[in-house]
Structure 1
C-alpha cells in the first residue's frame, strides 16, 4: 500500500521538488522555537526558560564609553549632506576596536556576544554611513566567514588586520540578475594551472549594491566555480564558492559609488580576468563548492543581528522623540499627545517598540546559545524593518511640519528616508515574507515534512511509511486539538503562569494548533504549487511571525520580573499580536482555493473565526496608559526607548527636545493651576507666559513656580522651531552629470 502511495505521490508531484540549493538552505542552520509552532502544541514552560540575558560588564562599558563618545563626536546632519566620514572618526573607530567586535580576542578583536554586537549596532544605527561602517565588518562577510570556515593560515593572515581596521571588508554577492535569488549568480571562477603548475582561479564578474565597496580593500566574493580539468577533485562544477580578493589585485575594480537613499558607502565591484591562488577560497581548496552552505548557515544567525538592530533602533528613536514631542507641542491649549487621535499613534509606537526589543534580545540570546535559526532570523529581519518603518511614519505624522522640514534639528527625517534600505537588502522583504519564511519553515520546521520528502526522493518505502504515519497522526491530533481549543478558547492549553497573562498563553497555544493543522492542509492539498502561492504563504508567515512576537513579549515580561508598570504595554501588545494572527487566518481561509475544503473554509470556517476570534485588537481605553509610558520622564521611558545615545541639552534636535520636555514636565503642576485660573477668569491674559505675573499676584502660583513655567515655555518654543536656510545655503547650482554611469556598467558586463 505504501509503495503504491509513494509512486502516486511522485507521479502526481503532490509535494514540492527540492533543488540542490534549496536542500542546502533547508539543511543549513537549526530548528528552534519555530518548531514548537509547526508542532501545534508549544511547550511554553520550555520557551519561558529560554535565556533572556543582559550585556556583559565589558560590553556595557563599551556602550557607555567609546560608543557614547562616538555618538557625540558625529554631526549626523553634516554626514547626510557631505556623505564623507571625517578621518578623525575613521581613526577613532580603529583605535577603539569597532571593526573587531565579532573577532575573537586571540586575533585582536573584542569577541563580543551576538547581543553585545546588536546593542552596538542599534546605538550607532542613527549615524548614517558610520553606522554602516560598524555593521558590515561585524556581520556577514570576511570576518564571520573566516572565523567559522577559514583555514588556520587564513585566520592568522586576515583576522588581526580586520580587527585593527587595516582591512575594511565588503561582501560581493548581488548582481544585476541575482539578488534574492542568490543561487543564480553569474560571477564565474575558472580553475586552471599556471605555467608553474600552481592551481589558480580566473574570475570575471560584475556586482552591484555592495555595501562599503567604495571604501573597502578586501572583498569576499561569491562566485560559481568551474573546474574543467577537475584540479580540485570536486568535479567540473564544484558549485558556489567564496573567494577573498584584496584591493590592488590586477583586474579588480573598486571605488565607484551608487547613491542610496539615506546615503552610505555602496557601489559596484567589477572583475576582468582577476587571477588568485585557490588558497584564497574561504576554507582553502576544501571550501570549494561550499559557499552556498556557508552563506545559508551564517545568514541564519546574521539576519538576527544587523538589520533587526537597525529596525529596532528606528522604533526606539520614534518612541524616544514622539512621546516627548507629543507633550511639548501644544494645540488648542493642551499637549497634542493628550488628543485621542495622536494618543493612538503614540501608544502604538510605545507598545510595538517594547515588542520588537523583546524579540531582538530573545533571538540574539538564542543565537549566542548556539542556535542558527534561518526562519526565525528571517522573521526578525522582515518584521523589525517593516514595523520600524511603520513607527517612524507614525512619529512623522505626530510631528507634522517638524518631521518634514530637514535640517540639524529634524530628528526622524533621516530614519524615514533610510527605512526602505533595510527593507530591500539581505533578501527583499516581499520575498522573505511570501517565499522564505513559510516556504522554508513548512519543510524545515515541520516535525515530519523533511523526513517524508527525503523518503520520497530516495524512494525508500520503510522510511516513507514511518514518516507518513507520523505525519498523519500529527495532523489528526492537531485537528481535534484545534477543535477542543477553539471551543474552550484555549482553556486546555497548559500555561507556565497563573496570573492575568495566562490568557495569552492559552490563545497562542490555540493559534498554534490551528496553524499546524492548516499548514498540513496546505502541504497536502496545494503541495508543490505553494511556491507560486506567495499571497497565501505570506499570510502563514504573518501568523507565525506574530505568534513568535507574542511569546517573546511574554518572555520579556517574565524575565524582567513581571513589572506592574509594564502590564499596559503587555496587554496592548498581546491583543495586537493576536489580532494580526486572527487577520492572517481569515485571509488564509478566504483564499484557500481547493475543492470542497476550500468552500468549507471560506464560508462556515470564516464565520466561526469571526464569531470566536483570537482578538479584536487593543481597546481604545488602553491607549492612554500605554502612551503615557513614553510621555513622562523616568525609568519607564528609558526602558521602552533607551539603548540609544544620550544627547546633551545643547545638541540640536533630540537634545533640545528632551531638555524642553523635562522642563515642561516639571512645570505641569504649576501650569495646570494657571490654566485653571484662566478658565475660571480669576486672571486675564492672552497666553500662558503673559499670565504668569497676574497668577503670582493673585496667589495662584508662587514666584518660583512662575519662573519654572517661564523657563519651560522658552524651552518649548525653542524645541518646536524648525531649521531655516539662506538662499545661498538652500540652492545648489551644480549637479554632477552621471549619465555615463549606466554605459560604464554595461561595458563592464560585456
Structure 2
C-alpha cells in the first residue's frame, strides 16, 4: 500500500525530527478535550458549531444565590479594612461556611451546592470586583484541589468522609504542589514518599514515609486538610524501576510530623498563604486519593483537573479586574472636570476607555463561552491556557489604564481609594497556576499544536510505536490538509455557518486567518521540527494568533445571544481588534523566521492581510461615546458588586445622583464646584432638589484620604 511504503520511507527521518514525549508531557497533552479551538488547526471555522454552544443560564437555586447570598457577602467586605487587618473578618469566614461558598462544585448528594461552571465563575468574579482576598479564599477550595480530585478519583469512603465536611466548611482544604526548587517545572518536584511499613494505630500498616517542602500554598495557614503531591518510590523494586510516579494524598491537620510554616504575604494580600513541610512523615496507603490503585498517576490527575480549573478561577479574577477598572475609570472620568469638560471627553482618556471596553468584551466573551463548554462536559485544556494568559494580562492592562486615568486619586492609599489594592494584587493572577511567561511560550501553541492538530499526534504515536502504515496514513492525511489550507489561504476560505447579521465581513476574515494560521503552523512544524519548541518567541506568536482568533470568534458567539444595538459598536470593535491583533502576530512571526523557505511561505500566507487594520481613531472614539450610557456600562460590567464601604460605594452614589440630574446639569454643577463657594449656595441655583446631595457625593469622590504624621487616619 502507498501509505505503508510512505511510512517506511519517512520513519527514519521522522524518528529524528519529531520531539520525544515523556510520560509527564504526554499526561499533559492527553488531559482534557479539544473544543472549538481545534477548528483553527483544521483551518476551517464552522460558525454553526460556534452557534451550537448553548448559553448556560443559572437555574433557580443558582440565581437566588447570585441575587441574595453574593450581594450580602459583598456588603460585608471592606477592602481597605481587610487589607489593613491582613485577614477576613471572622463573620465573613462564618458566612462563607454557613452558606456553602466552599462547596460550589460539590454535588448536592454530599451537601454541596452543585453549581454549573458558569455560575461558579460568576460568583468568583462578583466577589473579586470588591475584594480580591475574599475571592481567592472562595476560589481555592472550588478550583484545583482536594474536592475536585476526590470527586473524580476518590474512593467511596474518601468521598463519604470528606465531601460533606468540605461542603459545609467543617474542613478547609489546601493543595500543596509547588516546591522551592520546582516551580514552573512542577513535574520535577524533589518531594518523595518512600513505600514502607510502620506501626499505625497499633497495627503494622503499609504506607509512605514523606519528605517534602512546599511553598506558596494558598489557605495552608488555616487548612484542616492538606492535599499533597510527591514522587512515590518503592525501594524493594530493582534499580531503575523504583520510581512509581507522582502521587496525590490527603493529610488531616494536625498530623504528627506535618508542619505548617510561617505565613507568606503575596503582595501583602490578606488571603492566607504559606509553606507546608515534613520530614520522614508516615501516611497510610488509604490516604492516597483513590487508594493504592492511584499510586503513580497523580500528574495525570492534576493535569485533567487543571484543564477545567484553569478556565474558571483566574479568568474570573482577570475579568473582575477589567470590569472594576472600566466601571471606576469611566465613572470617574465622567464626573471629574478639567478645563470645563469631563475628562472622558479628552481623546487621550477616551481611547484607553474604549480599548478597555473592547478588550473586556472579548475576554469576557471567551471566558463565558468556555464556561458553557465546560458545562457540556468538555475539558478544553488549550482554551483554558488561552484564558489564563490573555484574561489575566487584559486585567493587568485595564487596571494600569484605570490608574493612569484616575491619576493622584489612584495612588493615595486609604478607604476611599478605588483601585490601588486590586492593582497591587494583579501580579498574583499573572504568576500562579502556570506563570504567564510559561503559559504563552510553551502551553498555548506547544500543547495546542499536538493536542488539537488533526494529524500531528497520530504521527508522533506512529513513530513511537514504529508503525509505518499508521505513519503513512497520517502523512497522507496531513498532506491533503496542507494543500487544502494553502488553497484557502491563497484563494478562498468559505464562510461556513451563519453569523449575526452585520458580522459577515468579520467572520470571513476570521475564516481566512484561520486557514493562514493552519498553513503557517504546518510549515513551521514541518521545517523547524522539534526546534520550534525551543524557539519560544516564534511559538509564542503562533499561540497569540490562535488566542486572538478564539477570542474574536467568542465575540461573535456572545453577540448572537446578546444582540443589543446599544452595545453593537463595542462588540464590532472587539471582534475587529482581535482580528487585527491576530494578523499582527502573524506578521511578526514571519518577520522573525530564521529559515529562507519559511520566509517564502510567509509571502504566500500574508497575501490578503492588507485590508486588516487597527481601529480608526473615530471608531475608537465612537466606542468611548457609547460608555456615556450607564446601561452600556452595566452590560459590560454586570458583575461589579457594592462593598460594605469605601471609594466604590462613593463613586456609585455620585453616578446614581448624576444620572438623576441628567448629564447637562451634572456637568454644570461639576464645573461650579471649582468656584470655592459653599455647596449650599451652588445648589440653590439649581432646579434639582438633589443638587446638594450630588455636590457632596462628587466632592467625596474627588477627595483622597489623609493621615497623621504617625500614619493614623486623620
Identify the TM-score tier after normalising by the shorter chain: over 0.9
Following superposition, the deviation at residue 637 of structure 1 comes to 2.0
Separation of aligned partners in 2, 1:335 and 1:378: 39
| 1:617 matched residue in structure 2 | 614
Contact 2:450 2:456 in 1 (8 A): yes
Determine whether 1:379 maps to 2:358.
Answer: no
Please state whether the residue corresponding to 2:243 is helix, strand or coil.
coil
Determine whether 1:704 maps to 2:687.
Answer: yes
Determine whether 1:247 maps to 2:253.
Answer: yes
Separation of aligned partners in 2, 1:703 and 1:617: 44
| 2:652 matched residue in structure 1 | 658
Please state whether the residue corresponding to 1:261 is helix, strand or coil.
helix
* 1:544-583 deviation digits (Å, cap 9, x = unpaired): 11111111111110012x2211210111101210111011
| 2:571 matched residue in structure 1 | 570
- Counterparts of residues 425-440 of structure 1 (less than 5 Å): 425-440=432-447
When the two structures are superposed, what TM-score results if normalisation uses the length of structure 2? Answer: 0.94
- Counterparts of residues 213-362 of structure 1 (less than 5 Å): 213-229=220-236, 236-263=242-269, 264-362=271-369
Following superposition, the deviation at residue 672 of structure 1 comes to 8.2
Separation of aligned partners in 2, 1:674 and 1:120: 39
Following superposition, the deviation at residue 78 of structure 1 comes to 1.2
Answer with 66-75 or 326-335: which moved more: 66-75
Separation of aligned partners in 2, 1:432 and 1:364: 19
| 1:699 matched residue in structure 2 | none
Separation of aligned partners in 2, 1:43 and 1:506: 11
| 2:629 matched residue in structure 1 | 632
Separation of aligned partners in 2, 1:686 and 1:460: 81
Following superposition, the deviation at residue 663 of structure 1 comes to 2.3
* 1:102-124 deviation digits (Å, cap 9, x = unpaired): 11111111111111111111111
Following superposition, the deviation at residue 688 of structure 1 comes to 9.7
- Counterparts of residues 132-143 of structure 1 (less than 5 Å): 132-143=136-147
- Counterparts of residues 520-535 of structure 1 (less than 5 Å): 520-535=522-537
Contact 1:121 1:306 in 2 (8 A): yes
Determine whether 1:60 maps to 2:82.
Answer: no
| 1:729 matched residue in structure 2 | 711
Separation of aligned partners in 2, 1:258 and 1:614: 51
Separation of aligned partners in 2, 1:605 and 1:43: 24
Change (3 A) 1:669 1:179: closer
Separation of aligned partners in 2, 1:235 and 1:586: 49
Change (3 A) 1:669 1:191: closer
Please state whether the residue corresponding to 1:283 is helix, strand or coil.
coil
Separation of aligned partners in 1, 2:472 and 2:364: 44
Change (3 A) 1:506 1:200: same
Change (3 A) 1:191 1:392: same
Please state whether the residue corresponding to 1:494 is helix, strand or coil.
coil
Following superposition, the deviation at residue 81 of structure 1 comes to 1.2
Separation of aligned partners in 1, 2:612 and 2:549: 13
| 1:643 matched residue in structure 2 | 639
Contact 1:305 1:364 in 2 (8 A): yes
Determine whether 1:389 maps to 2:386.
Answer: no
Contact 1:26 1:440 in 2 (8 A): yes
Separation of aligned partners in 2, 1:454 and 1:686: 73
Please state whether the residue corresponding to 1:133 is helix, strand or coil.
helix
Change (3 A) 1:588 1:686: closer
Following superposition, the deviation at residue 158 of structure 1 comes to 0.8
Determine whether 1:91 maps to 2:98.
Answer: no
Please state whether the residue corresponding to 2:530 is helix, strand or coil.
helix
| 2:44 matched residue in structure 1 | 41
| 2:559 matched residue in structure 1 | 557
Please state whether the residue corresponding to 2:193 is helix, strand or coil.
strand
Please state whether the residue corresponding to 1:205 is helix, strand or coil.
strand
| 1:735 matched residue in structure 2 | none
Separation of aligned partners in 1, 2:705 and 2:682: 34
Separation of aligned partners in 2, 1:91 and 1:364: 29
When the two structures are superposed, what TM-score results if normalisation uses the length of structure 1? Answer: 0.90
Change (3 A) 1:73 1:466: same
Contact 1:630 1:641 in 2 (8 A): no
Please state whether the residue corresponding to 1:359 is helix, strand or coil.
helix
Following superposition, the deviation at residue 356 of structure 1 comes to 1.8
Contact 1:204 1:273 in 2 (8 A): yes
Change (3 A) 1:44 1:117: same
Contact 1:6 1:456 in 2 (8 A): no
* 1:426-454 deviation digits (Å, cap 9, x = unpaired): 00000100101100100110001101110
Please state whether the residue corresponding to 1:204 is helix, strand or coil.
strand
Separation of aligned partners in 2, 1:586 and 1:446: 22
Following superposition, the deviation at residue 149 of structure 1 comes to 0.5
Contact 1:495 1:502 in 2 (8 A): no
Please state whether the residue corresponding to 2:267 is helix, strand or coil.
coil
Please state whether the residue corresponding to 1:243 is helix, strand or coil.
strand
Following superposition, the deviation at residue 664 of structure 1 comes to 2.7
Change (3 A) 1:692 1:65: closer
| 1:747 matched residue in structure 2 | none
Contact 1:495 1:505 in 2 (8 A): no
Gaps of 5+ in 2: none
Separation of aligned partners in 2, 1:495 and 1:433: 31
Following superposition, the deviation at residue 128 of structure 1 comes to 3.4
Following superposition, the deviation at residue 475 of structure 1 comes to 0.6
- Counterparts of residues 130-209 of structure 1 (less than 5 Å): 130-194=134-198, 196-209=203-216
Change (3 A) 1:685 1:672: closer
Determine whether 1:598 maps to 2:598.
Answer: yes
- Counterparts of residues 662-673 of structure 1 (less than 5 Å): 662-668=656-662, 670-671=664-665
Following superposition, the deviation at residue 295 of structure 1 comes to 0.7
* 1:389-416 deviation digits (Å, cap 9, x = unpaired): 1001111111011111111111111111
| 1:539 matched residue in structure 2 | 541
Contact 1:14 1:524 in 2 (8 A): no
Q: 2:33 aligns with which of 30, 34, 38?
A: 30
Change (3 A) 1:688 1:288: same
Determine whether 1:119 maps to 2:132.
Answer: no
Separation of aligned partners in 2, 1:79 and 1:109: 27
Please state whether the residue corresponding to 2:583 is helix, strand or coil.
helix
Following superposition, the deviation at residue 260 of structure 1 comes to 0.8
| 1:100 matched residue in structure 2 | 103
Contact 1:632 1:665 in 2 (8 A): no
Change (3 A) 1:530 1:599: closer
Please state whether the residue corresponding to 2:543 is helix, strand or coil.
helix
Separation of aligned partners in 1, 2:72 and 2:308: 29
Contact 1:547 1:581 in 2 (8 A): yes
Q: 2:518 aligns with which of 505, 512, 516?
A: 516
Change (3 A) 1:256 1:674: closer
Separation of aligned partners in 2, 1:68 and 1:176: 39
Change (3 A) 1:599 1:320: closer
Please state whether the residue corresponding to 1:500 is helix, strand or coil.
coil
Separation of aligned partners in 2, 1:473 and 1:60: 49
Determine whether 1:716 maps to 2:713.
Answer: no
Separation of aligned partners in 1, 2:264 and 2:568: 46
Contact 2:47 2:499 in 1 (8 A): no
Determine whether 1:461 maps to 2:436.
Answer: no
Please state whether the residue corresponding to 2:136 is helix, strand or coil.
helix
Separation of aligned partners in 2, 1:427 and 1:327: 38
Please state whether the residue corresponding to 1:225 is helix, strand or coil.
strand
* 1:77-98 deviation digits (Å, cap 9, x = unpaired): 1111120222222111111111
Separation of aligned partners in 2, 1:7 and 1:64: 61
Separation of aligned partners in 1, 2:223 and 2:673: 63
